């Protein structure tokens, strides 16, 4: 608790100044009448453990954990949800009775955005994921649980895509390939960009064969203007091409629910975000 009696939360990342989480959680708190404070906490990797424990010791109630700390923080939690262990990453901490509970709300955030906000049918859909890093690992199991027909992981480095297949092959149809090997023979209903290329200002040769006029394209990255991938997909004639703003708000709502026991209305917050983004 803060000295003025308000429950304290925050987001730890490095860098973190660009994070929208404080705005989103303040909007949730306003909407649901919850009295809380949410801080932006820039923490270097070698200071992470101390910073988390310090936040806990001083009465903090919960944290969001973002890039680059999501895998590392999993090492200091006392208990971890099954979805966080499958993702190999933690994005939400709950401090309770002296213990640290770690969860991961990214996967459920993506699925809610796809199904509820965007009206995409996942069942029996062939899904292509570009990239095989931490972001990819966090979304495979939730997609498989949504009964997709197949998951294909295309990555610049084939061995990393193959590692993902090894991790998730017992839960559904999953294959690995390079960008060059993506063929137009399988029609993809959903293509997700989970590479960090755009964030780093790169524009790799994304696989053109993946896109048809029936393909929905989703970039886990987001920005005030279209990301390179979402622009590319729209230009290639995809049915629709969207950025991950909805996932961001939905994962935050799930964290808020874990902390406060109330579920905020995300649609109105997404609308407010769109206004502030324009
Ligand atoms: P994250 O945790 O955000 O997923 P990561 O683990 O560093 O980040 O993974 C980044 C992903 O983006 C990887 O799949 C990486 O491809 P490699 O495994 O070949 O490194 C992919 N990526 C990053 N920059 C890229 C680029 N310019 N072209 C193609 N893929 C890129």
94-99 contact pairs (CB < 8 A, 24+): 94/61, 94/62, 94/258, 94/259, 95/55, 95/56, 95/60, 95/61, 95/62, 95/63
CA of 206 to the centre of ligand 1 (A): 13
- Ligand 1 near 132 CB (within 6 A): yes
CA of 153 to the centre of ligand 1 (A): 12
Q: Where in the chain is the domain with CATH 3.40.50.720?
A: 107-245
Per-residue model confidence as pLDDT tens digits over 168-197: 999 999 999 999 999 888 899 999 999 999
**CATH match of 107-245 with 3.40.50.720:** yes
Residue range 216-243: mean pLDDT, rounded: 96
CA of 32 to the centre of ligand 1 (A): 38
- Ligand 1 near 134 CB (within 6 A): yes
Which ligand 1 atom lies nearest to the CA of residue 71?
2
- Ligand 1 near 135 CB (within 6 A): yes
* Burial of 34 from C-beta contacts in 10 A (0-12 / 13-18 / 19+): middle
Q: Is the pLDDT of residue 28 over 70?
A: yes
Q: Where in the chain is the domain with CATH 3.40.50.10860?
A: 7-104
Which ligand 1 atom lies nearest to the CA of residue 157?
19
Q: Tokens for 165, please give them.
A: 């297949």
Per-residue model confidence as pLDDT tens digits over 12-21: 999 999 999 9
Any idea which architecture 7-104 has in CATH?
3-Layer(aba) Sandwich (3.40)
Per-residue model confidence as pLDDT tens digits over 240-269: 999 999 999 999 999 999 999 999 999 999
Active site residue 70: yes
- Ligand 1 near 157 CB (within 6 A): yes
Model-level pTM?
0.95
What is the Cα Rg of the chain in Å?
A: 19
- Ligand 1 near 156 CB (within 6 A): yes
Which ligand 1 atom lies nearest to the CA of residue 194?
4
Catalytic residue, candidates 47, 70, 169, 213: 70
pLDDT at 126: 98
- Distance, in Å, from the CA atom of 29 to the CA atom of 24, rounded to the nearest integer, reads 9
Which ligand 1 atom lies nearest to the CA of residue 131?
14
Coil, strand, or helix at residue 245? helix
Per-residue model confidence as pLDDT tens digits over 108-122: 999 999 999 999 999
Residue range 25-33: mean pLDDT, rounded: 97
CA of 6 to the centre of ligand 1 (A): 40
pLDDT at 278: 47
């Amino acid at each position: 608790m803060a000295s003025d009696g308000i429950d304290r939360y925050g987001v730890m990342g490095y860098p973190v100044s660009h994070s929208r989480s404080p705005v989103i959680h303040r909007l949730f708190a306003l909407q649901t009448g919850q009295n809380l404070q949410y801080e932006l906490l820039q923490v270097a990797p070698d200071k992470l453990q101390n910073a988390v424990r310090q936040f806990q010791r001083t009465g903090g109630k919960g944290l969001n954990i973002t890039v680059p700390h999501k895998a590392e923080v999993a090492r200091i939690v006392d208990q971890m949800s099954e979805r966080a262990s499958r993702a190999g990453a933690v994005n939400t901490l709950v401090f309770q009775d002296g213990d640290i509970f770690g969860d991961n709300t990214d996967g459920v955030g993506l699925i809610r955005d796809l199904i509820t906000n965007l009206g995409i049918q996942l069942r029996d859909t062939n899904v292509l994921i570009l990239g095989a890093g931490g972001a990819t690992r966090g979304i495979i199991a939730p997609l498989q649980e949504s009964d997709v027909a197949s998951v294909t992981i295309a990555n610049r480095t084939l061995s990393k895509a193959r590692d993902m297949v090894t991790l998730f092959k017992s839960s559904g149809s999953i294959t690995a390939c390079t960008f060059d090997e993506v063929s137009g023979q399988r029609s993809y209903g959903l293509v997700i960009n989970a590479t960090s290329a755009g964030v780093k200002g790169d524009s790799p040769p994304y696989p053109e064969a993946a896109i048809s006029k029936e393909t929905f394209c989703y970039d886990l990255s987001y920005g005030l203007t279209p990301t390179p991938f979402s622009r590319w997909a729209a230009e290639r004639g995809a049915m629709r091409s969207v950025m991950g703003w909805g996932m961001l708000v939905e994962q935050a709502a799930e964290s808020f629910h874990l902390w406060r026991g109330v579920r905020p209305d995300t649609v109105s917050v997404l609308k407010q975000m769109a206004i502030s983004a324009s």
